[in-house]
Amino acid sequence: MANEKIPYKIYLSEEELPKQWYNVRADMKKKPAPMINPGTGKPVTKADLTPVFCDELVDQELNETDAYIDIPQEIQDFYKMYRPAPLVRAYCLEKALGTPAKIYYKFEGNNTSGSHKLNSAIAQAYYAKKQGLKGVTTETGAGQWGTALSMACSYFGLDCHVYMVKVSYEQKPFRREVMRTYGASITPSPSTTTEVGRKILAEFPDTNGSLGCAISEAVEVAVSNEGYRYVLGSVLSQVLLHQSVIGLEAKTAMDKYGIKPDIIIGCAGGGSNLGGLIAPFMGEKLRGEADYRFIAVEPASCPSLTRGTYAYDFCDTGKVCPMQKMYTLGSGFMPSPNHAGGLRYHGMSAVLSELYDQGLMEAVSYEQTAVFEAAQRFARVEGILPAPESSHAIRCAIDEALKCKETGEEKTILFGLTGTGYFDMYAYAAYNDGKMTDYIPTDEEIAASIAKLPKIG
């Protein structure tokens, strides 16, 4: 092994686990643009949001000033059940690539939900319980978020209603069964259980569903049922706050061994993992204490940062949620059905969008066959079968490491391995059979979708 002092896997002790989340907005000189109430056209108030979200989560969503927010003890206790997530030195991948680069990954897949989503699910479930609610509603696409939320609700004895994008409900019956095992009820979306679902079904009876549509249904059920609120697994600033536990743990582990990353890479759909992974490092950059390269990796089939526009847009198809200024492909953008896994959301977290717009972060996109080639390569040398989402970051990390091989630079690369691919074997089968294809939307498709953006801001 190249460096005897650094173990394959760094596990923090329970005492070293973060006791506070880090709120990167507090260190941003120019803050993300405020959410807009689509009814009034004005910035949202706490009163606008509390019918939809839990009270304390609304406070967190609107909090742009406190850099650190205490993690309640109950959440810390739950974190101990599946954290620390290890920081892994990819010795075997480095050797296979023949690169002088040092590659680390923060592995968030060692829990039954199979991804980092549990970090925010348990926080949101906790605040719902604390508020005395009966339950929560949500949507899920690939199923990672729904699984995480089911686990969290089961732990706190909360009702959990999940609207699952119809195509996933049918193609991923096992994801559905995991959620049911944790006591959640699952409805394929669009459904006839909501007004917005019935409307969409009337217009598009053969639709496969979309994340935007499932969000609209989940919100409608939350606001029209006493004792329920809506929770969301990505995009929101509160989610990035909870996910900062990823970056805080990674930074503590690296600091402990005197490791400083040059490049930090994360896959980006709504931005929950990337925002959490980079948070404390970005804080240092914002405060002028250190410099890092940050790279957001998105799918070529749904390229909001690399090919979208920075403007106010709806977060959901039904247009019931607040509008947000973000890099977006338009809320009507439908990612190609050939795209596997998550990362198929039309927009990007307002925080990450603003950081990207300020030039503090880069973005690249990859086609899915290139992503699965990296996934298979990684699995074979590092053992872990990665989720398709995470494999975008792997692809980029491999490419950066290969650049180092050309230049001879010994850069230190950190990437987020957000989860495992056990429930994505249809996609792996397509790749194994040589039947996986790529799809890149045309400029005309994207322009047509963006042309329908609301005229605000």
In the block, tokens 């180092």 appear at: 404
Q: Residue 21 belongs to what H/E stretch?
A: strand 20-22
- Assess 380 for contact with a second copy (CB under 8 A): yes
Phi and psi at 136, nearest 5°, equal -135, 160
- Assess 2 for contact with a second copy (CB under 8 A): no
Q: With respect to a second copy, which residue has the nearer C-beta, 131 or 376?
A: 376
Using the rule CB under 8 A, give the single segment among 237-245, 249-257, 333-341, 418-426 that binds a second copy.
418-426
- Assess 139 for contact with a second copy (CB under 8 A): no
- Assess 11 for contact with a second copy (CB under 8 A): yes
Using the rule CB under 8 A, give the single segment among 44-52, 222-230, 329-337, 423-431 that binds a second copy.
423-431
- Assess 101 for contact with a second copy (CB under 8 A): no
In the list 72, 100, 183, 454, the residue contacting a second copy (rule: CB under 8 A) is 183
**DSSP letter string, 364-433:** EEE-HHHHHHHHHHHHHHH---B-HHHHHHHHHHHHHHHHHHHHT---EEEEEE-BB-TT-HHHHHHHHT
In the list 111, 140, 208, 390, the residue contacting a second copy (rule: CB under 8 A) is 111
Nearest distance in Å: CB 258, a second copy: 18
- Assess 170 for contact with a second copy (CB under 8 A): no
Using the rule CB under 8 A, give the single segment among 40-48, 55-63, 147-155, 438-446 that binds a second copy.
147-155
d(CA 251, CA 259): 9
**Residue 33, helix vs strand vs coil:** coil
- Assess 181 for contact with a second copy (CB under 8 A): yes
- Assess 154 for contact with a second copy (CB under 8 A): yes
d(CA 385, CA 378): 8
d(CA 193, CA 449): 28
- Is residue 22 within 8 A of residue 14, CB to CB? The reply is no
Phi and psi at 327, nearest 5°, equal -70, 125
- Is residue 5 within 8 A of residue 429, CB to CB? The reply is no
Using the rule CB under 8 A, give the single segment among 36-44, 181-189, 221-229, 398-406 that binds a second copy.
181-189
- Is residue 321 within 8 A of residue 236, CB to CB? The reply is no
Query: Taking each helix axis from N to C terminus, what angle separates 237-256 and 118-130, rounded to the nearest 10 degrees?
Result: 130
d(CA 160, CA 238): 20
Nearest distance in Å: CB 252, a second copy: 15
Using the rule CB under 8 A, give the single segment among 33-41, 107-115, 353-361, 407-415 that binds a second copy.
107-115
* Binding residue count for a second copy, defined by CB under 8 A: 43
In the list 321, 334, 384, 446, the residue contacting a second copy (rule: CB under 8 A) is 384
Q: Tell how far CA 48 is from the center of its chain.
A: 25
**DSSP letter string, 355-371:** HHHTTSSEEEEE-HHHH
Q: Which of 240, 238, 228, 367 is nearest to 306 (CA)?
A: 367
- Assess 382 for contact with a second copy (CB under 8 A): yes
- Assess 110 for contact with a second copy (CB under 8 A): yes
Nearest distance in Å: CB 205, a second copy: 28
- Is residue 309 within 8 A of residue 450, CB to CB? The reply is yes
d(CA 55, CA 411): 44
In the list 123, 178, 321, 374, the residue contacting a second copy (rule: CB under 8 A) is 178
Nearest distance in Å: CB 14, a second copy: 5
In the list 170, 177, 255, 409, the residue contacting a second copy (rule: CB under 8 A) is 177
In the list 420, 441, 449, 450, the residue contacting a second copy (rule: CB under 8 A) is 420
Tell me which residues touch a second copy (CB under 8 A). Answer: 1, 7-9, 11, 13-14, 77, 80-82, 92, 110-112, 114, 151, 154-155, 173-174, 177-178, 180-183, 376, 379-385, 420, 422-423, 425, 428-429, 431-432
